[in-house]
Structure 1
């Protein structure tokens, strides 16, 4: 039985209300008997000497709401105590040496369910750093499913850096998912260029697609291969812009200054063009450098290369 009445239950209850709140056995069709039993079990109808009487749904809702809150509280308490209860098993698991693959050897796993299961295990084992490059649109269901484990990883003190393409961060629901992670310390950047999908765990295991339809993945442990993938990730990371640039647009004046800088104008030329002091323009440029993660004006110009003046 679900928490909410079905269409048949609602119809029978409303029919009872229309009869003045009373339902006689003669008013029931044989097919209504199972629905009647459920309404009585819910407490929306109560038996009387002559039939059944409708109960105020508000009272029933308050009672069910209290029961659900109590159930939710118990589940939350159980969730908090579960890691402690499993701690001895976790320590035993961590104490077992992991057999590493031979140099150049990769483990291939087929099937989305098996791939997700292995990635879940790697996330649970991750202790220091998780890197991910996720090109293309990121499915919202995947973001939601991974949220709890991502937050648990961040809570353990692991670093998390994720690359997305603009197509992901334009979706408002995806933006909320990203903010839930960045609010807990994750770093997210956006790169408007082609790049390859990869996940790297503690710089010891890397996962890359092994089939175009993503139904097969290669799990790499060779240090040279992982170093190569990390170097590519760091190169792409340095060219990407912080997610804040896409999630929270800067003030119009700052945007205007950025566009003029992207056209090659100097700080003084920008100040003259907009009728601002050089000090004001310098302050806006400083905010742009922070926003784009640029250490120099050259890097800022590179990050702003896609901007155009109106």
Structure 2
């Protein structure tokens, strides 16, 4: 039985209430008997010398609420104890784990499932920081799947720095997913130029694609190689811009400016249409260029028109 009454139970309970709050079981249709039994089991119908009467749902809500809070407390306590309970197994795993491949400095992963599993292990074992360079569009489903693990990483004090390309944050669902992480301390920057996908864990292990379709990956642990990849990431990070304003909705005037640009109006025509100075419109256009990663006004108009078609 679920915590809440089902549709049939609700319908029968409402019928009883509308009928004065009393029910004679012999008047029940056979199809209503399962719902009747469920209402009795929940305590929403109580017996009287002459039949059954409706009981207050508030009492049920208070009782179930108390039970759910107790259950949640037990689950939280179990979650707190679980790492210690698994610690001996983790130590045994670490003692026999072979992080290196046959060539002594790499592990080759084949298939998305294998890649996700290995990355999940690296995130779980991370103690200090994760560096992530994520070019191209971000799949929302993947972000949702990784959310719990990313938040756990941040809550245990690790840092998370991620590079995106501006186009990745055009999707509002992606923006919300990224914002859930930045509110917990993750840092995000945008770089409007090509770069390669890269994940680095504690500056000890780096994951890079090993196939164009990203169906294969390689885990590198050679200190010199990892340090070289970290240096590339830090170089790109220094050139990138903070993504804070991308995670907030644009100003309504900025949105209106964008819509007029997408229709092909010039900066001067937009200013005239909205009754603004060209300088003010230029400021809104600058924000739009940052948000969309556009290099020129023509590039911005092209991207905005593409967004309207989507």
On whether the aligned pair clears a TM of 0.5, the verdict is: yes
Counterparts of 1:213 and 1:9, CA distance in 2: 52
Shift of 1:50: 3.7
Counterparts of 1:135 and 1:12, CA distance in 2: 56
Q: 1:23 to 1:111 in 2, by over 3 A?
A: farther
Q: 1:205 touches 1:219 (CA, 8 Å); kept in 2?
A: no
2:66 pairs with 1:66 = yes
Partner of 1:236: 236
Partner of 1:219: 218
Counterparts of 1:66 and 1:84, CA distance in 2: 28
Q: 2:100 touches 2:106 (CA, 8 Å); kept in 1?
A: no
Q: 1:247 to 1:7 in 2, by over 3 A?
A: same
Partner of 1:182: 182
Shift of 1:231: 4.3
**What is the SS of the residue equivalent to 1:46?**
strand
Partner of 2:198: 198
Q: 1:189 touches 1:241 (CA, 8 Å); kept in 2?
A: yes
**Residue segments in structure 1 that go unaligned for 5+ positions in a row:** 252-273, 275-303
Q: 1:185 to 1:36 in 2, by over 3 A?
A: same
**What is the SS of the residue equivalent to 1:98?**
coil
RMSD of the TM alignment (CA)? 3.7
Q: 2:175 touches 2:246 (CA, 8 Å); kept in 1?
A: no
Partner of 2:78: 78
Partner of 1:255: none
Give the alignment of 1:229-268 within 5 angstroms. Answer: 229-247=229-247
Partner of 2:126: 126
2:104 pairs with 1:108 = no
Partner of 2:256: none
**What is the SS of the residue equivalent to 2:3?**
coil
Counterparts of 2:209 and 2:47, CA distance in 1: 62
- Range with greater deviation from structure 2 (242-251 or 45-54): 242-251
Q: 1:15 to 1:137 in 2, by over 3 A?
A: farther
Partner of 1:38: 38
Shift of 1:100: 0.7
Aligned residues: 263
Counterparts of 1:164 and 1:50, CA distance in 2: 70
Question: Could you tell me the TM-score, scaled by structure 1's length?
Answer: 0.69
Shift of 1:219: 2.7
Counterparts of 1:173 and 1:240, CA distance in 2: 22
Shift of 1:243: 2.0
Q: 1:305 to 1:16 in 2, by over 3 A?
A: closer
Q: 1:64 to 1:186 in 2, by over 3 A?
A: same
Q: 1:305 to 1:212 in 2, by over 3 A?
A: closer
Counterparts of 1:47 and 1:134, CA distance in 2: 64
Counterparts of 2:140 and 2:16, CA distance in 1: 43
Shift of 1:35: 1.9
- Range with greater deviation from structure 2 (238-247 or 15-24): 238-247
Q: 1:19 to 1:146 in 2, by over 3 A?
A: same
Question: Could you tell me the TM-score, scaled by structure 2's length?
Answer: 0.69
Q: 1:118 to 1:98 in 2, by over 3 A?
A: same
Partner of 1:147: 147
Give the alignment of 1:263-302 within 5 angstroms. Answer: none
Counterparts of 2:68 and 2:213, CA distance in 1: 42
Counterparts of 2:107 and 2:87, CA distance in 1: 31
Residues 136-184 of structure 1: CA deviation (Å, up to 9, x unaligned): 4434443343233223323444332111233444455544543443344
Q: 1:197 touches 1:208 (CA, 8 Å); kept in 2?
A: yes
Shift of 1:105: 5.3
Counterparts of 1:47 and 1:187, CA distance in 2: 60
